[in-house]
Amino acid sequence: MAAGLAATTSTACRGAEIGPVTTPADSVVWGVSTDANTIRKDREALRAWFDRAAALPISSCRTVADWWLIEDRPGVRDWTSLDMVVDECRGRGLAMTVTVAYAPEWARDPEDRGPRNTAPGREYVTAWAEFCRAVARRVPADSTIEIWNEPNLSAYWGPVQSPVRYGELLKAAHRAVKDAAPGMPVVAGSLGPAATVGTASMSPPDFAGALYDAGFQPYFDALSVHPYTGAQLPSASGAASAVRAGLYPLRDVMVAAGDGSKPILLTEFGTPTGGFDSVGVAEQSAHLLDAMTLWRLLPFVSAAYLYTVDDRDSRSVDREGHFGVYFSDGTPKPSLAALQ
């Protein structure tokens, strides 16, 4: 089956209890996730990125099919960015998880002409579905399609996160993907770690619960989440642990909805070495190894994707520039050797 979606049977996990292992540790799919800059590289730079990624023990790559980048005019599609990643993955024997997201300006509500991470207006759901169908036909048949990136955060959905609107896009995408490739798994969620705070964010369990309550259960084959824990070890107890990141409560929501047979994919995890809530370069190794040890033990986790290969900008004060296992000049961090 597609990467990370081997059949899984699991029981509820309450609080910090891990419970019996029903997904064997050696069956967890390990991958790496591209960042926003990776897909905009030229072919030579992209090949070099994959060469560096090949030093990691991975069998899959998660990338983004940016709707705004591929179809900036209605009906006119430039597949260059996605095709180059597909070519690299095929040539290296890597499976693919492809995240479809981000409406072009022409498909947004008239009053919302803001950032590129904006959701499409309801009148453009058909156009969205057609794009999802086209992506499913473009990528390898054993790919997995993930719908959106962190829609529980208004910063990645815009202007205000909405489980119901997300569910409408999920339903349309699911039908389109299954029409193009009936066996291709569709993953919902891609949920970022956050608390429920007004209209700015919803916690992964709250967002997933709202999806179930609104009747969108039939339209996904798995859920995905991003269990970032900043400067805290993922296995640590306390408010900043993986429990806060929503894994255990999210699993409880799935089991309560009768969805215990569906796995969870961790489509991003990582630890920054600069900026807010980060660790030192020497500490990153221990944090990543701790995370991978924990993910192996969770019976409902079927795949985990490291974010990411290269720092976006190792000189930046922004933590988003520091998630790589290489510095932005291509020099390895100690964590690279630790993960090999």
Taking Cα atoms as reference points, which of 113, 199, 187 lies closest to residue 155?
Answer: 199
**Mean pLDDT, all residues of the chain:** 89
pLDDT of res. 220: 98
Weakest-pLDDT range from 57-66, 106-115, 197-206, 237-246: 237-246
Name the more confident of 110 and 269. 269
Pairwise CA distance, residues 280 & 241, whole Å: 18
The confidence band for 16, taking pLDDT boundaries of 50, 70 and 90, is very low
Instruction: Considering only residues 304 and 158, tell me which one the structure prediction assigns the higher pLDDT.
Output: 304
pLDDT value at position 247?
86
Question: What mean pLDDT do residues 109-119 have?
Answer: 73
CA-to-CA separations, 120 to 105, 138, 327, in angstroms, rounded: 9, 22, 35
C-alpha–C-alpha distance, residues 217 and 236, integer Å: 32
Given a cut of 50, whether residue 15 has pLDDT beyond it is no
Q: Where are the beta strands (DSSP E) in the chain?
A: 29-33, 60-66, 95-101, 144-147, 186-191, 222-225, 264-269, 301-306
Rounded to an integer, the average pLDDT of 293-307 is 93
pLDDT in tens, 59-100: 999 999 999 999 999 999 999 999 999 999 999 999 999 999
pLDDT at 235: 84
The overall pTM is greater than 0.75: yes
Is 303 within 8 Å of 29 (Cβ atoms)? yes
Gap between the Cα atoms of 125 and 220, Å rounded: 17
52-66: per-residue pLDDT in tens? 999 999 999 999 999
- Does residue 114 register a pLDDT over 70? no
pLDDT tens, 282-293? 999 999 999 999
Query: Cα–Cα distances in Å, from 161 out to 74, 117, 137, 207, 321?
Result: 25, 12, 29, 9, 25
| Cα of 228 vs its chain's centroid, Å | 12
User: pLDDT grade, residue 26 (50/70/90)?
Assistant: low
Average pLDDT over residues 31-53: 94
Between the alpha carbon of residue 154 and those of residues 38, 80, 198, the distances in Å are 23, 29, 10
CA distance 7 to 227: 22
Helix (H, G, I), strand (E, B) or coil at 186: strand
Its sign, for the CA torsion 118, 320, 305, 77, is positive
Please give the biggest Cα pair distance in the chain: 51
**pLDDT at residue 276, rounded to an integer:** 94
User: Please, where are the H alpha helices in 214-269?
Assistant: 247-256
Answer yes or no: is pLDDT of 111 > 80: no
Task: Extract the tokens encoding 265.
Answer: 């994919």
